[in-house]
Amino acid sequence: MAEERNGPAGGIVKAAALTALAMVAFAANSLLARAALVDGAIDPWRYTVVRLVSGALMLLALLAWRDRRAAAARAGGWLSGLALFVYAVAFSVAYIRIGAALGAVVLFAVVQISMVTWGMVQRQGPTLREAAGLAVAFAAFVYLVSPGLAAPDPVGTALMAASGIAWAAYSLRARGVADPLGATAGNFWRAALLGLPLLAASGASAMTATGFALAVVSGAITSGVGYAVWYAALPHLTPTKAAVVQLTVPVIAAFGAVTLLDEPLTVRLVLATTAILAGVALTISAPARPTPVKDRPSTRS
């Protein structure tokens, strides 16, 4: 294992770096989606297809550069590809029906609940420190976005919840993958194939050059490469830690909006960000539980 070769410190640094890169990619992906879908530069069906196809092509190019051209045909799987497809299409359609703040609350709440619940089912339930960190981070996250909450569109809310469940399933299936890049490429081309029929749903709707470009960048860089990095980070995280660390995504996205869109930096944003990061730090600093010993042989002669 990497931790054994590089030592515990090396494993921690690697996990932190991979996780940070993945969260930045996810935040950038959120900003790209908002710009493309909220302004109507592209419809959600084309956005989803272009995003998935661009991601698949980028990942296949990276595999070719690594001289592993056939890896994508064997890596990944149809269940992971389906989860990725459901996440992407539900995410896109939901964001034309509900606001970004409400969508973020629903998405990340469902991701956390799904991943933590699965961890508990697998006897990896949160420790007291992890649960405390989860509670602090999520409460601060709700505090950050709650001013934008309103009576939600039930269809949009349900779609975003489905997107969160699909993303949680995709993330959980990534744990323990030996070849993150190959698996992500395999999942993307499968999801892209599943998405091609969506082009018929677009009909004659308009698509601007800006909308197309945003979808390509989202697919190739912040999705394709970003998800490959996330796949590489997941083996270092428990389900609870993988769930709570994603609460940093809307925080990073909010500061990106401040920088790129000249939105004001409010006291509420600063306070919520501090609390979210404190909750994440509390959770990820919790010591790992020892693996239970099954069928331990008797020591008696």
Q: Residue 243: what residue type?
A: A
Domain assignment of residue 259, yes or no: yes
Number of domains within the chain: 1
Domain assignment of residue 234, yes or no: yes
Structural domain of residue 280, as residue ranges?
10-284
Q: 269 near 143, Cβ under 8 Å? A: no
Q: Two tokens at 191?
A: 């999801």
Q: 182 near 75, Cβ under 8 Å? A: yes
Burial class (CB in 10 A: 0-12, 13-18, 19+), 22: buried
Domain assignment of residue 24, yes or no: yes
Q: Using one digit for the tens of pLDDT, what is the confidence trace for 136-191?
A: 888 887 787 776 665 567 888 889 889 999 988 988 887 777 777 888 888 999 99
Domain assignment of residue 174, yes or no: yes
Domain assignment of residue 102, yes or no: yes
Domain assignment of residue 217, yes or no: yes
The overall pTM is greater than 0.75: yes
Q: Residue 235: what residue type?
A: P
Q: Two tokens at 254?
A: 């909010």
Domain assignment of residue 3, yes or no: no
Domain assignment of residue 293, yes or no: no
Q: How confident is the model at residue 210 (pLDDT cuts 50, 70, 90)?
A: very high
